[in-house]
Structure 1
Amino acid sequence: MPAHDSPPADAVSTLADRVGWRASGSSRFLLGIAGSPGSGKTTLAAALVAELNAQRPGEAVALPMDGFHLANRTLDRLGRRDRKGAIDTFDGWGFLALLQRVHAETDHTVFAPSFRREVDEGVAGEIAIDPEARVVVVEGNYLLVDDGPWARVRDALDEAWFCETPDAIREARLVERHTHHGRTAEAATAWAREVDGANAALIEATRGRADLVVSGETGRVLT
Structure 2
Amino acid sequence: MTLGPNTDSHFQKNAALTGRRRMDTKIGLEELALELQELAAGSRRQLIALAGAPGAGKSHVSDVLFSLINNKMPGKVQILPMDGFHFDDMVLEARGDLARKGAPHTFDVGGLLSALQRIRADDGAEIAVPVFDRSIEIARAGARIIGPEARLIIVEGNYLLLDDIRWQPVTAMFDRTVFIDVPEKTLHERLTARWAHLSPENRERKMEGNDLPNMRLVLAKSRPADYRVVNG
TM-score (norm 2): 0.83
Distance 1:216 1:26, change over 3 A: farther
Corresponding residue of 1:28: 45
CA contact (8 A) 2:162 2:222 kept: no
170, 173, 196: which one aligns with 1:179:
196
What is the TM-score of this pair, normalised by structure 1? 0.86
Q: 2:54 aligned with 1:54, yes or no?
A: no
C-alpha distance in structure 2 between counterparts of 1:189 and 1:18, whole Å: 41
Specify the code of the residue in structure 2 equivalent to 1:213. R
Structure 1 residues 106, 60: CA separation in 2 closer, same or farther (over 3 Å shift)? farther
Instruction: Give CA deviations for 1:106-150 in whole Å, capped at 9, x if unaligned.
Output: 402101000011101101000110111111100001101232331
Contact 1:96–1:149 (Cα < 8 Å) also in 2: no
Cα distance between partner residues in 1 of 2:56 and 2:170 = 20
Alignment of 1:201-216 (within 5 A): 201-216=216-231
Contact 1:112–1:128 (Cα < 8 Å) also in 2: yes
Pairing 1:113-124 to 2, within 5 Å after superposition: 113-124=130-141
Gaps of 5+ in 2: 1-26
Asked if 1 retains the 8 angstrom alpha-carbon contact of 2:28 and 2:230, the reply is no
RMSD of aligned Cα (Å): 1.8
Q: Percent identity?
A: 36
Q: Among 107, 110, 122, which residue is 1:105 paired with?
A: 122
How many residue pairs end up in the alignment?
206
Task: Summarize deviations over 1:166-211 as a string: whole Å, max 9, x none.
Answer: 122212222222335xx32442244223311111222112344311
What is the rounded CA distance, in whole Å, between the counterparts of 2:56 and 2:30 in structure 1?
A: 20
Task: Could you list the structure 1 runs, at least 4 aligned residues long, displaced by more than 3 angstroms after superposition.
Answer: none
Q: Secondary structure at the match of 1:195?
A: helix
Counterpart residue identity of residue 165, structure 1:
V
Note the C-alpha offset of 1:23.
4.2
